[in-house]
Amino acid sequence: MFPKEVEVILARHLASYLAMPIFIVDPVGNLVYYNESAELILGRRFDEAGEMDAAEWGTVFQPTDEEGVKLSSEVLPLMVTVHERRPAYRKFWIQGLDGVRRCIAVSALPLLGQSNRFLGAMGIFWEVDGT
């Protein structure tokens, strides 16, 4: 499932060297990679979780708002970026694959290649105070 576009391969390589948690999706929103820093928040190593289609990762982490209301995948920053091809930001709660609930803030950016080709999106996120 991992895209072969050189720009996405390079984005994945860059993410593997950065200390901030990064999540990369393809042009339709399928998860293609998250880095080691993201593993700590998401609760499982990427090698164990693997690639996931958009519907799966959009629900497996059980995203909710601050009041515990389930969020649809369409309002998650990475999916907003995929559908609208613009940056997006949101703070929300997830349940990691380790069973721990965490509040995260996500900034998603479109990945644009040569000739403005849309290649997917990259989400940079961090755990924040949920109050």
Region 74-84: mean pLDDT is 97
The confidence band for 1, taking pLDDT boundaries of 50, 70 and 90, is low
- Residues 21-38: tens digit of each pLDDT: 999 999 999 999 999 999
pLDDT at position 58, please?
A: 83
Q: How far is CA 2 from the centre of its chain?
A: 15
Judged against a pLDDT cut of 70, whether residue 120 lies above it is answered with: yes
- pTM value is 0.90
**SS3 state at 66:** coil
CA distances from 36 to 2, 21, 64, 86 (A): 17, 7, 24, 26
Which structural domains are found in the chain, ordered by start?
Answer: 6-127 (3.30.450.20)
**C-alpha span between 94 and 92 (Å, rounded):** 7
